Amino acid sequence: MHVWRREAGDVRVEIVPFSPLVLVTDPSLVADAPGLTSLERLDGPGDLAWLARFATWGHAIGARDRCRERAPTAPGDPTPPFLFPGDAVHQFLLTTGHTSFGDLVFGDVRRLALDIEVMTTDGFEFPSAARSGDRIIAVALADSTGYVDVIRGDRLDERELLEACTAAIRARDPDVIEGHNIFRFDLEYLEARARRHGVTLAWGRDGSALRGRPTRLAIAERTIGYRRYEIGGRHIVDTWMLAQLHDAGARDLPAFGLKDLARHFGVAAAGRTYVDGASITSEFRNAPDRLMAYAADDARETLGVSRILAPPYFAQAQVVPFDYQSSVLRGAAAKIDALLLREYLQARHAVPRPRPPAPVGGGHVAIFHQGVARDVLHVDVTSLYPSLMVARGIAPASDSLGSFLTLLRTLRDFRLQAKRDARDASDPEQRAHLAALQQSFKILINAFYGYLAFSSAHWNDFAAADRITAEGREVVATILGELEKAGAVPLEADTDGVYFVPPAGHAAADDDALLARIAAALPAGIHLDLDGRYAAMFSYRLKTYALLDSHGRVTLRGSGFRSRGLEPFQRRLIEELVRLLLEDRGAECKRVVDRWLDDFAHHRVPPRLFARTETLQESLEAYRAKVASGGRSVSAVYELAIASGRPLEPGDQVSYYVAGRSARVAVNENARLMAAWDSARPDENVEYYQTKVSEVWERLRPFAEQPGLRPWIDEAPPADPQLSLF
């Protein structure tokens, strides 16, 4: 294994022995495998009780294939009789106990941001590396030392540009290469164009080429397909994916574009250059200096966004047996599984196989009142599920070493110590490092419950997970009962906390006494926090609400308010109306609605606000075949792609709008490519879009006309599917 170290500013490589492994339930599966160097019986009751070591990585892969042939997994049996961690670096970290970055802090690491700009052939809306007429016209690079450069396509042809990019990366010698959507765009595009020109992207510290493979990343309810790239001796971090991971928990991002994130996190330079994406090609032809300045600013902002979002994952890489890049791309449950596997391997203890799935109850989630409430508090239990696990000794039945709770307690103690040290640290860099450390521990700690119900976890236990949620529901029910006894008005309960209006006459000075009263009724080891104080809360539907803080900032929560399926103008209208409701200005809502209706009537709404952009997921031929066989319904975006006559492929994007003169038009028959919209003769369907404005208003109008709170009453689903947005 090649191990790179940064010592006194210099990077050195060390070659160390590495003996890959395969764990099996039966030694006969690998006893005669080529390259076998040892076969050891592990202690304990786990099924995977035999540890086989091999001379090379290739021999270990051969042994894995042999296991597959000799003991194929039967239908309905998700757990094969062998375990082969398929990442060599992960195996090395598992078996040696090493982790990435040693005692470095985030600021010690050299990070290089990369951003490319490409031109699009006339007549096409979006770029494609497969088109001969499209090409890379700029590669912007900026690193954490202050270096900034743009390799310009107006001075070099594309082959020369690609070669210059490789030379610059090798010269700057970064530890990490960062980019915004770098996996799903920049690297794919660079790889495709390099292949066209016969150029090797030898970006590795060992001279190896950039290499990629298709994979998927699950974030909350979404699964993102992408091509994962690797570079020898370097890590790749995608700030677009960091933003997705951040928003899965915080739900506070306005959008995932680089400029939106830079403004949101306050890292956008005051004088940065902006160029509309549709104007890239014309800017290159007419104002190349301006385009190059824009590309450089993109690279700088990527570094800034990463500086905000990446440190917790950097800190995790110093703890878990995954490299930094994998620490971003692997889920928390996989990291806990790896921590436990490392413990068992070091103890020479047999590893259990995952148990089959079983039902697990959910948390206590309820809504009690609708409407706008003033002076709202949010109280929650500090790490409810981890606290219950520690207090009640709830752990997987298969954990014969007792490592699960030991790890949980250790991470909890480390987090508390890091939190204290961060508060006391005088050095800003050290304080930031400790803050990231405690945040990374918090992420892992809160994932221990989910791990128990993770189907691929070797130490899963669905019965234990069900017990935790049952006891969690009891805790939240106790909090609700104590609040009502105190005269508070509960608004909404989530898994581990409650939003409520405090008792009449309650002041901030009374917070501690109220919390102490509630906490006295809770089980030992359960601690309450006052998590937030809000000027107002608009409780709309279960898990759909808005908060107004003391600084006038509005936070929208729930898919009903923030669904990506809504057109941009609908999201903007919802934000406007909800803010008015929260600010007790409901009487102004109708004027806002009338303004949007009038703007549509007079074609004043910019097309970017009513356009819908979709990505083709399959080829046009596959779409035609499925429609012909009845395997799928007709789709507006695919029909437009076919009618365009352009060689569009999966991954290409199509923007369109709805034309016509009726609110109830068939979208498939009236969709038009966005490129066909003409500001001199606008033909968007005014009635169609006005109806969407009215639908939003009809949903929110009762709260504007009758402000205040009302008890929640379950409603039947709307008969009109157009009104099901909420």
Q: What are the φ and ψ backbone dihedral angles of 672, each rounded to 5 degrees?
A: -130, 145
User: To the nearest whole number, what is the mean pLDDT of the chain?
Assistant: 91
pTM of the model: 0.85
The DSSP output letter for 182 is I
Look at the block and give the residue holding tokens 């709008």: 657
**Mean pLDDT, residues 291-305 taken together:** 97
Query: Quick one: pLDDT at residue 77?
Result: 62
Closest CA to 389 of 467, 456, 463: 467
- Residue ranges and CATH numbers for the domains of the chain are 2-84 (no CATH), 106-316 (3.30.420.10), 366-557 (3.90.1600.10), 563-723 (1.10.132.60)
CB distance 212 to 227 below 8 Å? yes
Give every CB contact of residue 649 below 8 A, 6+ residues apart in sequence: 128, 130, 616, 619
Query: Quick one: pLDDT at residue 651?
Result: 63
pLDDT category at 519 given cuts 50, 70, 90 is very high
Query: Quick one: pLDDT at residue 81?
Result: 93
pLDDT tens readout for residues 626-638: 999 999 999 999 9
Closest CA to 439 of 528, 301, 310, 337: 310
Query: Quick one: pLDDT at residue 6?
Result: 85
Query: Quick one: pLDDT at residue 702?
Result: 95
How many Cα atoms within 13 Å fall on the side-chain side of residue 105?
A: 11
pLDDT category at 430 given cuts 50, 70, 90 is confident
Spell out a b/e string for 192-208, using b for 16 or more CB atoms within 10 Å of the CB, else e: ebbeeeebebbbbbeeb
Task: Give the separation between CA 329 and CA 218, rounded to whole angstroms.
Answer: 9
pLDDT tens readout for residues 483-513: 999 999 999 998 889 999 999 999 999 999 9
Task: Give the separation between CA 507 and CA 513, rounded to whole angstroms.
Answer: 11
Task: Give the separation between CA 182 and CA 201, rounded to whole angstroms.
Answer: 15
pLDDT category at 645 given cuts 50, 70, 90 is confident
Task: Give the separation between CA 682 and CA 7, rounded to whole angstroms.
Answer: 63
Task: Give the separation between CA 640 and CA 613, rounded to whole angstroms.
Answer: 12
Query: Quick one: pLDDT at residue 76?
Result: 52
Task: Give the separation between CA 244 and CA 216, rounded to whole angstroms.
Answer: 14
At residue 52, does pLDDT exceed 90?
Answer: yes
β-bridge pairing 554-557 and 366-367: unpaired
Q: What are the φ and ψ backbone dihedral angles of 322, each rounded to 5 degrees?
A: -130, 150
Structural tokens at position 203: 């970006």
CB atoms within 10 A of CB 614: 16
β-bridge pairing 235-238 and 176-179: parallel
Query: Quick one: pLDDT at residue 717?
Result: 45
Please give the residue that has the higher pLDDT: either 103 or 29.
29
Spell out a b/e string for 462-471, using b for 16 or more CB atoms within 10 Å of the CB, else e: bebbbbbbeb
Please give the residue that has the higher pLDDT: either 464 or 529.
464
Task: Give the separation between CA 362 and CA 372, rounded to whole angstroms.
Answer: 27
Query: Quick one: pLDDT at residue 74?
Result: 59
At residue 725, does pLDDT exceed 60?
Answer: no
**Mean pLDDT, residues 233-253 taken together:** 88
pLDDT above 70 covers a percentage of the chain that reads 96
pLDDT tens readout for residues 665-718: 999 899 999 888 999 999 999 999 999 999 999 999 999 999 999 999 765 444
Q: Where are the beta strands (DSSP E) in 520-647?
A: 528-541, 544-548, 554-557, 612-615
**Mean pLDDT, residues 268-280 taken together:** 90
N- to C-terminal Cα distance for the chain?
Answer: 54
Query: Quick one: pLDDT at residue 564?
Result: 67
How many Cα atoms within 13 Å fall on the side-chain side of residue 623?
A: 18
At residue 724, does pLDDT exceed 50?
Answer: no
Quote the distance between the C-alpha of residue 364 and its chain's center: 25
pLDDT tens readout for residues 595-621: 999 999 999 999 989 999 887 878 888
Query: Quick one: pLDDT at residue 253?
Result: 78
At residue 252, does pLDDT exceed 50?
Answer: yes
CB distance 715 to 371 below 8 Å? no
Closest CA to 538 of 678, 370, 406: 370
Q: Where are the beta strands (DSSP E) in 206-339?
A: 211-219, 222-230, 235-238
- Cα dihedral 41, 42, 45, 50 in deg (nearest 10): -50
pLDDT tens readout for residues 537-572: 999 999 899 999 999 999 898 878 877 678 899 999
